[in-house]
Chain A
């Protein structure tokens, strides 16, 4: 395990890492991303976020660390972690998405509601990203993660820009991967993997559909809020023109109730969005990472297969050389056979290891998913409960006014 040499872990902590799955509730680290600040002007401007880490874990140098990071720093961290761990079958949490449109508005200095919302969305997403990353036992101990959270200066991650050389290379690789995926036909000997892959495919489809539903739900709530406010004003006007005093008062009260309900609708729309929609979006991206890990396993298998084919060829070549009289070439052939035997063994070991890692990772992912959804759904239901309680209060106050009309 190469990465452990870098972390200077003792054996006890190494085993603890795998036991941490059971002790997840006593997780000793809190991370918050806050206080977005705009730095610079015009198209070169960017937002800087405060990242505060509070922890009792000994791998950190202090109990409480506060650093300033910008969006590309997060992308840089993710990029490093992905290149280190994905090929081993670790599910590396994906970073929040880039948004050229959203960011441009902020850069250009539009102080309107949509850019405020955008920054808040992003802040929240960055926080969730970090929390997920440190929840992963291997990633938590990674030096890049520690450096990200602790060191006051961080080298600028330029290779994360979409149109940089590295960015273009990424795009090319992605395309190549897609092509390869189509051509690799793996003999799946392990039913577990086939089953899980199918499950994740289904989950992906379902989450996307649900995500779309929630976005439309939020839209409808906002529309309802606008129309309720408009009706409230109209009812107030009607109350003004009504010449029966008690009825006039009741209509004004009705207008007030509707105004308050409008505010409830607005708040509910926020809750709908932040709680559920963002979570669903996160999981759609996470599933992509999970699928990526399964693909890595396929690639590892393919590599192993290729090595075996090569070995076979070398053996055939050696067999041929047996009957020719070229002792140098024969020796070379024998050396190559040994080399490729080694590669085949390594390939098989790698494949076994990645399969093992993936099983463990998927188990962890599924536990976390249940927890994540549970927490969010409880919060959402609580907000719905609050809304209904408020509605009851408002209508209970209105009822005697309506009855007082004589």
Chain B
């Protein structure tokens, strides 16, 4: 039924079910709980089973599931971004596209090179690559889930109609990917945005809070970007094969030579260290890279609203001076004022929440990282000391 790798439908083990809020500390309440209960990897797409439990009257049932693909998540995210009503909120960042290309390529290369290595080597490498594939798979599931959980936890976004449709409608949403024209439009929109962003960033804000946030976010975002890239590189180095194949030594060699075999489990531990660092450190940084961008976007929208408001003020002054279209100008000005104030109010709360979430997430992950590193180092130490004991005792 499935081409490509032999992934059964039950890809996620029992322990992986349930909310996996990896990088965010969310309070889930009984009125709306969302998680990804299952996932299927096919040749060129991943199918997520989105599972909802809710006591809200909006839904027909209390518990239900639908199958969604990545494009549908993007559609939902974009609908939030484009909705003027939500201009004052940090839109939870969209999950990144599932990318198995690198892993698939490696597995393919392995298959091609099967003839040139021993059966042992082949099996070992295959297991490692499959574990890598599985890890990437779990990560993409986690990231899609976090997105949904963030939306479900947000007091306003959780009520969004598109969100409910996304959760409940059990047919394909038919949201085709953007075509070339639309992608080009997006591209230009982004160009304009960044140009605007520079402009807006240049204007000093009257409000101290926002002025501080602007300065902070601009710098923070850049630093997180750098840290994310560097942590990726470090962890990739850690993962790369510490080649010390003991199979190169003949089996009946005297004890000292066969003791090279202790290094095998040590290597396995090192691989696990790298995987944990990846989860606790690299993913954390990646996530906050995207969130800090979303926070910047919020500031940008507020900045735009402020600019509109100031322009409306100027237009009103002009109109009053010329005594022409004053009423219209007054209405426009009022609308802009309201919009700006509404955004500012909710933005302030959003940014405070962002900080709270960020601090909590970093705390959780840094503590877990330290605990895991300790666990692995102690494990390694034990292995090494026991091997030393054997070697030294044997004279």
Residues of A at under 8 Å CB distance from B? Answer: 202-203, 206, 209-210, 213-214, 216-217, 220, 223-224, 227-228, 230-231, 233-235, 237-238, 240-244, 246-247, 250-251, 254, 370, 373-374, 377-378, 381-382, 384-385, 388-389, 391-392, 395-396, 398-399, 402-403, 405-406
Given the known inter-chain contacts A227-B230, A227-B234, A244-B355, please indicate yes or no for A373 contacting B256, CB distance below 8 A.
Answer: yes
Main secondary structure of the interface of A (DSSP, over half): helix
**What is the CB-to-nearest-CB distance from A50 to chain B, in angstroms, rounded to a whole number?**
32
Q: CB distance A402 to B391 under 8 Å?
A: no
Query: In the assembly, what is the distance between CA of A170 and CA of B255, in Å?
Result: 39
Interface size class of B (residues with CB under 8 A): 35 or more
Q: CB distance B266 to A213 under 8 Å?
A: no
Given the known inter-chain contacts A230-B230, A388-B381, A402-B363, please indicate yes or no for A217 contacting B223, CB distance below 8 A.
Answer: no
Query: In the assembly, what is the distance between CA of A384 and CA of B234, in Å?
Result: 20
Q: CB distance B233 to A385 under 8 Å?
A: no
**Segment among B128-136, B154-162, B193-201, B257-265 that sits at the interface with chain A:** B257-265
Nearest B residue to A211 via CB reads B248
Nearest A residue to B382 via CB reads A388
State which residues 239-262 of B face A: CB under 8 Å. 240-245, 248-250, 254-257, 259-260, 262
A206, A370, A384, A392: which has the most chain B beta carbons within 10 Å?
A384
Residues in B with CB closer than 8 Å to A406 are: 363
Nearest A residue to B368 via CB reads A402
Q: CB distance A381 to B262 under 8 Å?
A: yes
State which residues 345-395 of B face A: CB under 8 Å. 355, 358-359, 362-363, 366-367, 369-371, 373-374, 377-378, 380-381, 384-385, 387-388, 391-392
**What is the CB-to-nearest-CB distance from B289 to chain A, in angstroms, rounded to a whole number?**
11
Residues of B at under 8 Å CB distance from A? Answer: 212, 216, 219-220, 223-224, 226-227, 229-231, 233-234, 236-238, 240-245, 248-250, 254-257, 259-260, 262, 266, 355, 358-359, 362-363, 366-367, 369-371, 373-374, 377-378, 380-381, 384-385, 387-388, 391-392
Q: CB distance B234 to A224 under 8 Å?
A: yes
20 contacts between A and B (CB under 8 A): A202-B250, A210-B245, A217-B242, A224-B238, A227-B233, A230-B233, A231-B230, A234-B230, A235-B230, A241-B219, A241-B223, A251-B362, A370-B256, A373-B256, A377-B256, A378-B391, A384-B384, A398-B370, A402-B366, A405-B359
Among candidates A206, A209, A247, A395, residue contacting B370 with C-beta atoms closer than 8 Å: A395
Among candidates A217, A388, A399, residue contacting B243 with C-beta atoms closer than 8 Å: A217
Q: CB distance A405 to B366 under 8 Å?
A: yes
The 4 A-B residue pairs with the shortest CB-CB distance in the complex, in nearest-first order? A374-B256, A402-B366, A405-B363, A224-B237
Query: In the assembly, what is the distance between CA of A201 and CA of B371, in Å?
Result: 48
**What is the CB-to-nearest-CB distance from B210 to chain A, in angstroms, rounded to a whole number?**
14
Q: CB distance B381 to A385 under 8 Å?
A: yes
Among candidates B227, B241, B243, B369, residue contacting A234 with C-beta atoms closer than 8 Å: B227
Q: CB distance A388 to B391 under 8 Å?
A: no
